[in-house]
Amino acid sequence: MPKKVIPFPPRKAPPATPAPPRILIHLGARRYTLSVPSPSPVLPPEPAPVATPGRLEQLQVQTRFLRLSEAVRLGDRIDGWRVCWVGGWDKGKVLFVVMVERVVGAGQT
């Protein structure tokens, strides 16, 4: 006697919904998941000085670490420098540590 085969309709794939980006942090044996609802607004870098046509100009990125008395955000500008990294408050919560950068020509300091 031949086997009876029941034809099932093909499975429908669930609708693809874009999941919000997630950040997974491991601290020792603990895991923390942070969901990021939207990309954080970051200001574009300050435009580099324009080189004269027909002449190559070497540019240099200068970086400095600053210890500030007030908190700042990524992309903020301080005296021509742009905040590119935010470290947060130090252990005593007295100073706010950040890294700043600026683009200069090779001959400038």
Q: What is the pLDDT of residue 14?
A: 72
What residues pair up with 63 in beta bridges, in sequence order? 101
pTM over cut 0.85 = no
Parallel, antiparallel, or unpaired for β 59-68 and 30-35? unpaired
* pLDDT given at position 108: 65
pLDDT given for residue 109 in this prediction: 61
The pLDDT value given to residue 51: 62
Q: Would you state the pLDDT for residue 5?
A: 81
What is the spatial distance between Cα 29 and Cα 109, in angstroms, rounded to a whole number?
Answer: 46
Res 20: pLDDT: 65
Predicted local confidence at residue 95, as pLDDT: 87
Neighbours of 68 (CB within 10 A): 13
Q: Mean pLDDT for each consecutive 10-residue tract of the chain (109 residues)?
A: 80 72 77 69 67 71 90 89 88 88 77
**What is the residue extent of each domain of the chain?**
43-105
